Amino acid sequence: MTAGHVILVGLPGSGKSTVGPLLAARLGRPFVDVDAELELRAGLPIPVIFEREGEAGFRVREAELSVELARSAPAVIAPGGGWLLNPGAAPLREGGRIIYLRTAPEAALARMGDGVAGRPLLAAAADPLAALRALLDRRGAAYEGAALTIDTDGRTPAEVADRAAALIREAEGDG
């Protein structure tokens, strides 16, 4: 068993929301999809939150939930792609083991398919691939600073979850 939260980070389309429940099952923990929880609490989809409150309002909500999660029992948590750069998320970052699900922007875009329309930072872009590349340029150093990194391209979600569980157990001395 591992101690503390396991937090999956990466570009939109990297597989956080897909791998998260699989990893949680392997570790015997609950799974929290931060965006889904924020939608539930607001009673609004993420794009509407962005439309009404802007990215700054969304980041405030994200930070508040991060503080709450930092105090909760250990879970596998999948925040949005920009969470890692949100200063208000520091309490959760400091109490968790962060895993970067590294994927090429092209692979991330292919995984999202029509789901790009539900991604506020990509939906408005004339070129979603260029927007993903720009996000990676801005966030890449933060992602690369994660405790663990898993390349997801060419791997199934189950393979990524298996690899993550093995790395976590090894890092915690349980493997």
pLDDT tens-digit map of 88-100: 888 888 878 999 9
What is the b/e burial string over 32-45, where b = at least 16 CB atoms within 10 angstroms of the residue's CB?
bbbbebbbeeeeee
pLDDT at 53: 94
pLDDT > 50? residue 1: no
Question: What pLDDT does 116 receive?
Answer: 73
Residue 125 CB neighbour total at 10 angstroms? 15
- For the chain, what is the mean pLDDT? 90
Residue 71 carries which DSSP code? T
Global pTM reads 0.90
- pLDDT at site 122: 76
HSE value, Cβ hemisphere, 13 Å, CA-based, for 95 = 18
Structure confidence at residue 4 (pLDDT): 87
**Which of these ranges, 32-46, 66-80, 125-139, has the smallest mean pLDDT?**
125-139
Distance CA 88, CA 34 (A): 14
Report all structural domains of the chain as residue ranges with CATH numbers, in order of start.
5-171 (3.40.50.300)
Distance of CA 66 to the CA centre of its chain: 12
What is the per-residue pLDDT for 173?
A: 72
pLDDT value for 144: 92
Residue 121 reports pLDDT greater than 90 = no
Higher pLDDT, 141 or 81: 141
166 pLDDT more than 50: yes
